[in-house]
Structure 1
Amino acid sequence: MFVLPVRFERSPKLHSMLSEQDYPVGTRVVVQGKRGPEVATVRGQASPPDPKGRYGAVLRDASPEELIRWKDLHRQGEDLKWLLRARARERRLPVKLVAVEFTLDESLVTISYSADERIELGPLIAELREHTRARVNFAAIGPREQAQMLGTLGACGRENCSSTHLQDFAPVSIRMARDQQLPLNPEKLSGPCGRLLCCLQFEHTQYLELLKDLPRKNARVCHEGSGACGKVTKLHPLKGTVDIHTEQGPVYDLPASELKRATDAPAGHPGKSRAESPSESER
């Protein structure tokens, strides 16, 4: 037995499936998932199974007839999605219908939707009964799942990470933006889904390592070469430098290796300021 990583159509997430034979990457296969038989694509090399693992199963490679049926069901799902959207508008239902997906045997249809409040789905179910005999499953999804399923362009100009390679949605906090010295502008820190950018987490660990060698923001420091003392106003982790503000004015891009705390400076330099206390300073 082998374990094959496969990917379904609307998500980059890889699912591990048991298979009696290996298949080349890119092969369309029929798998038995949680919802029923579906078509998926092999996206990696086979590996030995873990005795403690829980897997779905690869049933067979998809035949030409099954691929045609799969595409027909996809088109049918798209038609139903637009029909349900029209009916929801007519009934003034505050719901966004994202996707309508059939299993390969057409025994189950899953409607992915988002709504800010609890809504009555009965009218939509009744509408579906007129067009399919499949069992109906409504699945509520969040903004990130919407972006994952629909696919959008990010601020970088490329397709968003959630629909191309992210396997899970890790927590993202505003602290990550602070540590990377980014301007706290919600419009620039938010992705197409309206939530904080997933990519803020990618380099956060590296930034934390770089910040260890820099003084804290608002700390009072002195430059060993010029003797200038002032308050740290900005950090540049990638360059290893900081900006300080002295009584004479701002001084830019001083190497952190040439700075020392004002309390360690020769007599006459200002001492440790209140802003340097751990409760009020931040990176």
Structure 2
Amino acid sequence: MSCVNCAAKALLNKSSNTTEIAAEACGKLDSYDWLNDLPGNQNNDLVVEVRFKNTRKDFFLNDQQLFLKRGDYVAVASTHGHDVGQVTLTGKVAVLQMNRKNLKTAPDKTIYRKATSADIENWNKAKLREKPVMIRARQLVDQLRLEMKISDVEFQADGSKATFYYIADGRVDFRELIKLYAKEFNIKIEMKQIGARQEAAMVGGIGSCGNELCCSSWRSNLDSVSANAAKIQELPHNVQKLTGQCGKLKCCLMYELDSYMEAQQDFPDVLLELEMEEGIAYPKKKDVLQKIVWYGMSATDNSKLFSLPLARVKEIIMMNKKGVKAPAVNIKESDNKEEPKYVSFENELSVTERFKKKNHRRKYKPKQYQKE
């Protein structure tokens, strides 16, 4: 799922016309220009959004008034030298996207030209150095015994600079490491610390839902997820099911949280016991979205439960406050909706335990023949 396996690599090698490449090449955090087909959206704005390796994007100025469209590869200015990226947004949408990100300063870097065949060739040569450099960089980290991990390496298109993305729990003194890198690779070194979620977005992959990871396909705001989100949605307390490939709680736990919190407001803070004619009904569980509460006539036995709508539960509570007991409920007639089936993962083996499990195959024993 990384840029090394992107379809653009093969297309760039066999075609020198960069305008025909982007239609077939895919990338992470792809953007859609929803104002492209509307009248009056002419490409007369100076701001252009350009995407680079993985999820890195930046805004540039089109001072030369080049006619650019989504998918064009351009050579842009960098701090040292130049870089090559792909145009993702132009026109009004690029300005709206820049305002949405609340950038503190306006873009000051410019676009030099559309990428030529020489720019693409140098770019490919620089990208081929990334993997061997990353392997060697990890070896140097182990030699210095630094508590950090080199996650990825990104070379500039002209090959004069490389950015090393690393993960560390705390502050790391890598001054000696930078000297070794500069001596080993003969390039300008830049170190950037990232988190576990940013690393998962760079590497990419397939989630448990079967789709590409949200952080590497469309989600750009990687906020922290609280464990209270799973508690509000009454999800099973299973770490393997709630954590993603980054080892953190899944970002998708926040997608339906607002709906659950809005529906939760209709429920009382504490579900009280109901006084029925046949006895006390104890609350067992609830369905927040369907607004149904399951009760049982025994405090310990959960085999025989009946469901009541939330509105009916509130009516019975008001009746009990007035000293009136609710009429008996026929369990078979009242349970119109099926009881939700909860899956328990307590007995499920973890990934490591599966490999530790011994294979109890019956050993083959040769038959012993008696001598005559």
Please state which band the TM-score falls in when normalised by the shorter chain: 0.7 to 0.9
Per-residue CA deviations over 1:37-80 (Å, capped at 9, x if unaligned) read 32222223421758996124333221121112112111112211
From 17, 21, 27, the equivalent of 2:60 is 17
From 106, 111, 135, the equivalent of 1:54 is 106
From 35, 46, 51, the equivalent of 1:2 is 46
**CA contact under 8 A between 1:7 and 1:43: conserved in structure 2?**
yes
Q: Name whichever of 122-131 and 75-84 sits farther off.
A: 122-131
Distance in 2 between residues matched to 1:16 and 1:252, nearest whole Å: 59
**CA contact under 8 A between 1:94 and 1:119: conserved in structure 2?**
yes
Q: Show structure 1 runs of 4+ deviating over 4 A.
A: 33-36, 48-53, 117-120, 221-224, 226-229
The alpha carbon displacement at 1:201 in A equals: 1.5
Give the structure 2 partner of residue 265 of structure 1: 319
* TM-score normalized with structure 1 length: 0.79
From 284, 297, 304, the equivalent of 1:246 is 297
Larger proportion of strand: 1
Q: Does 1:73 align with 2:116?
A: no
Query: Which aligned pairs between 1:1-283 and structure 2 lie closer than 5 A?
Result: 1-11=45-55, 14-19=57-62, 20-32=65-77, 37-47=82-92, 49=95, 54-55=106-107, 56-122=109-175, 124-216=177-269, 218-220=270-272, 222=274, 230-247=281-298, 250=302, 251-260=305-314, 263-266=317-320, 267=323, 269=325
**CA contact under 8 A between 1:31 and 1:59: conserved in structure 2?**
yes
Per-residue CA deviations over 1:241-263 (Å, capped at 9, x if unaligned) read 22234337542543223321654
Distance in 1 between residues matched to 2:307 and 2:76, nearest whole Å: 58
Instruction: State how many pairs are aligned.
Output: 267
Q: Name whichever of 175-184 and 31-40 sits farther off.
A: 31-40
Larger proportion of helix: 2
Higher Cα Rg, which structure: 2
* TM-score normalized with structure 2 length: 0.62
Unaligned runs of 5+ in 2: 1-44, 327-372
Residue 88 to residue 49, structure 1, CA distance change in 2 (3 Å): closer
Distance in 2 between residues matched to 1:102 and 1:129, nearest whole Å: 14
**CA contact under 8 A between 1:28 and 1:39: conserved in structure 2?**
yes
The alpha carbon displacement at 1:14 in A equals: 4.6
**CA contact under 8 A between 2:207 and 2:213: conserved in structure 1?**
yes
Distance in 1 between residues matched to 2:230 and 2:153, nearest whole Å: 36
Unaligned runs of 5+ in 1: 271-283
**CA contact under 8 A between 2:126 and 2:158: conserved in structure 1?**
no
Task: Report the secondary structure of 1:188's partner residue.
Answer: helix
The alpha carbon displacement at 1:181 in A equals: 1.6
Distance in 2 between residues matched to 1:34 and 1:170, nearest whole Å: 29
